[in-house]
């Protein structure tokens, strides 16, 4: 595989920020074509767009890597996803055209410093509420049956 001095790309704005709501967005340009890559943080759905038209769609839930094959400017291209760090959600996306690395971008979902205790509190509260709801539901079902 050849290396053609890949570029690190990024776009400003809301879509360049990683979030659970918007997922991961990556942007590349190749010979006047806009290549956008989206990865859902919830469902594992991955979509590659060329000039705002979807050219490859996959759902990837269990693997840390994924490859999408498509054509751009009459050449064979591929996007490679690589989940580097599961805990921070660091995701590397590379664009290859004719087996030459054209561009590379890395993003991660990193909670803010203060979100650690908040996240733990949210998990504890959610577990308590879920437990109470589940207990109440089971009690109701048994009262209706019995």
Q: What is the pLDDT of residues 118-131, one digit of tens each?
A: 667 777 888 899 99
Q: Which pLDDT value is given to residue 13?
A: 41
What residues does each domain of the chain span?
A: 2-107, 113-146
Domain 2-107 CATH assignment equals 2.40.128.180? yes
Per-residue model confidence (pLDDT) at position 15: 43
Measured distance CA(87)–CA(25) in Å, rounded: 19
Q: Is the dihedral of CA 131, 137, 139, 142 positive or negative?
A: negative
Task: Give 139's DSSP letter.
Answer: H
Cα dist. 47→11, 59, 91, 92, 139 in Å? 18, 9, 15, 15, 44
Task: Kindly give the parts of the chain with pLDDT less than 70.
Answer: 1-21, 110-119
pLDDT at residue 109, as a whole number = 73
Which single residue is written with the structure tokens 């659970």?
A: 20
Cα-to-chain-centroid distance, residue 105: 13
Query: What per-residue confidence (pLDDT) applies to 2?
Result: 47
Residues 24 and 1: their CA atoms lie apart, in Å, by: 26
């Amino acid at each position: 595989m050849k290396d053609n001095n890949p570029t690190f790309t990024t776009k400003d704005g809301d879509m360049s920020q990683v979030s659970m709501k918007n997922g991961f967005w990556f942007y590349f340009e190749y010979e006047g074509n806009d290549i956008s890559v989206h990865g859902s943080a919830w469902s594992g759905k991955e979509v590659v767009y060329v000039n705002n038209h979807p050219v490859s769609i996959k759902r990837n839930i269990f693997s840390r890597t994924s490859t999408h094959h498509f054509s751009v400017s009459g050449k064979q291209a591929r996007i490679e996803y690589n989940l580097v760090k599961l805990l921070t959600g660091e995701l590397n996306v590379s664009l290859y055209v004719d087996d030459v690395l054209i561009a590379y971008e890395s993003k991660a979902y990193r909670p803010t410093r203060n979100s650690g205790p908040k996240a733990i509190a949210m998990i504890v509260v959610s577990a308590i509420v879920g437990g109470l709801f589940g207990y109440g539901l089971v009690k109701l079902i048994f009262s209706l049956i019995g």
